[in-house]
Amino acid sequence: MNAYYLGIDMGSVSTNLVLMNPDKTVAHKLYLRSKGRPVDSLAAGFCQLTQQVGPYTVLGAGVTGSGRKLIGSLIGADIVKNEITAHALAAVTQEPEVRTVLEIGGQDSKMIWIQNGVVQDFAMNTVCAAGTGSFLDRQAARLGIGIEELAGLAAASQHPQRIAGRCAVFAESDMIHKQQEGAATADILWGLCKALVQNFLNNLAKGHAVKGPVLFQGGVAANGAMLRAFQEELQMPVKVPRYYDVMGAWGAAILAQEAVAEQEGQTKFHGLDAEGPGVIESFICTDCSNACQIIRTRGAVWGSRCGKY
């Protein structure tokens, strides 16, 4: 029976899974839509992996992403780590000389600066949806095109429109206004991509030098128009790694391998409980002004800023 390290990136939009060989190469990967049901999405992912791979043994499991605490406690993860660490580790594994990582997911975006394989600094944007995968999906749907068509249409632009990319609401309003003025869809889309890239860099770079090699990760990296806009704005090559859509999960698998090595080769992974996550309690702690929301399951408690729970 084959044996792999399992990496899970439980995001707000997608559930990404990676089965990694002991030599850190990706053996199998899976990218699924979470659809607001992370546990069901993970269960479906496990079923699909078994169908594709057949029976296999999990040597260790790591979890990252916004839903990492719930999923980590549910499956018995060997390590639960933030997205910055997971994405950076996968980037360095893919490109040892990488200096800058651009990552755009379904609901947030981030920049990571790396030197000699170590994270030096990072910045995240979790406030505005402009430029994220969900925003681009919505605009493609509003225009009646598939998200996979967006890049091709934008490439045909002759006269890109100026779009306000600082805010998702303003960007959408500006696009509608340009349509009402008769601007071509291709010109609106290319203008939108340029505006979103400028907004990304203005909000996250904030005076930091962007040095190459530069990797573009996350689901939005599949959009060739966004890649082209980054290259034009930065005036340097930007690479999309082979596993751009599951880099967080790959990084989680690498972290799992390291964690299991520290546990003398013994994994804590026990898989999905047939009874589900077993959320026993969810309440607001009123002991101080933080008013933390506390989540308690059969396996773990989290949400407390002070460490009380």
Instruction: Read off the pLDDT of residues 125-154 as tens digits, 9 standing for 90 and up.
Output: 755 656 576 777 777 777 777 777 777 888
Instruction: Read off the pLDDT of residues 57-74 as tens digits, 9 standing for 90 and up.
Output: 999 999 999 888 888 888
Among 240, 268, 294, give the residue marking a domain's end: 240
Domain that holds residue 36: 2-86+248-276
Instruction: Read off the pLDDT of residues 164-212 as tens digits, 9 standing for 90 and up.
Output: 766 667 777 777 877 777 878 888 888 888 888 888 888 888 878 899 8
Indicate whether 197 belongs to any domain. yes
Are residues 173 and 74 both part of a single domain?
Answer: no
Are residues 156 and 40 both part of a single domain?
Answer: no
Are residues 116 and 216 both part of a single domain?
Answer: yes
Among 220, 240, 260, give the residue marking a domain's end: 240
- Quote the pLDDT of residue 273: 63
* Strands (DSSP E) found in 11-97: 14-20, 26-33, 56-64, 79-80
Indicate the average pLDDT of the chain: 85
Helix (H) and strand (E) counts in the chain: 9, 12
Indicate whether 91 belongs to any domain. no
Supply angle C-alpha 276, 37, 76, rounded to 5.
40
Are residues 101 and 201 both part of a single domain?
Answer: yes
- Quote the pLDDT of residue 277: 47
Q: Is 185 left (phi over 0), alpha (psi -120 to 50) or beta?
A: alpha
Separation of alpha carbons 178 and 161, rounded Å: 8
* Percent of the chain whose pLDDT exceeds 90: 39
Among 214, 240, 266, give the residue marking a domain's end: 240
Indicate whether 25 belongs to any domain. yes
